[in-house]
Amino acid sequence: MAQNNRNKIKKAAVEVISKKGFFNTRMQDIADEAGLAVGTIYNYFSSKDEVLSYIFKNEMQRRMEYMSELKKENLTIKDFLNKFLTRHFSLLAKNPHLGRVLVREKDFSRGEESGKIKEHMNSMIEMLEMIFDIGVKRKEIKAINTHLMAVYFFGSMQGIIEYALTEPEMELLESAPNFILARINDIFI
């Protein structure tokens, strides 16, 4: 029941924050969307900042788990990146409200929760860096600054998502994996 309510609150928060923005969203708005009493929400989250942090934590964990699954498949780095990007953009195309929250609201939480959101984002960059390091070790990728490449790769993903979901040009999400891989093609051996 507790996890069910957390997920219900998360889904409602994504919907409301996507439409109203983080600062204009009140806990009451989230409660109304979730069909719960605002007191119930406070049983799970102490603030909307904590709700936002939970959204980021949950979504970054999902992506990290998928990357871990892909690592077990022993794919080439190019195939790994293609599968990861395809799934990532596909998930956001199916849930554009979530995409909007992830790209627009990452900088708007305050205090301790702001640091947690940054940690969640950095964990994705660290995982990408590790993947590029594996590519260098396997001699699938040229000797490059893998940290900078991970930041570039992540930034490309964020930029495309933000543009595609705010304009809206959803078709960009479908072509984004191949486009990004083509832009970084010169790193592959």
Domains contained in the chain, CATH given: 49-187 (1.10.357.10)
CA dist 155 to 12, 39, 71, 79, Å?
Answer: 27, 38, 22, 20
Model pLDDT for residues 32-76, shown as the tens digit of each residue:
999 999 999 999 999 998 999 899 889 888 888 998 898 899 899
Instruction: For residue 144, name the pLDDT band (cuts at 50, 70, 90).
Output: very high
Residues above pLDDT 70, as percent of the chain: 94
Long-range contacts of 22-28 (CB under 8 A, 24+ apart): 22/48, 22/52, 22/104, 22/105, 22/108, 22/109, 23/108, 27/51
> Which element (helix H / strand E) includes 10?
helix 2-20
The model's pTM is: 0.83
- Mean of pLDDT values over 16-27: 94
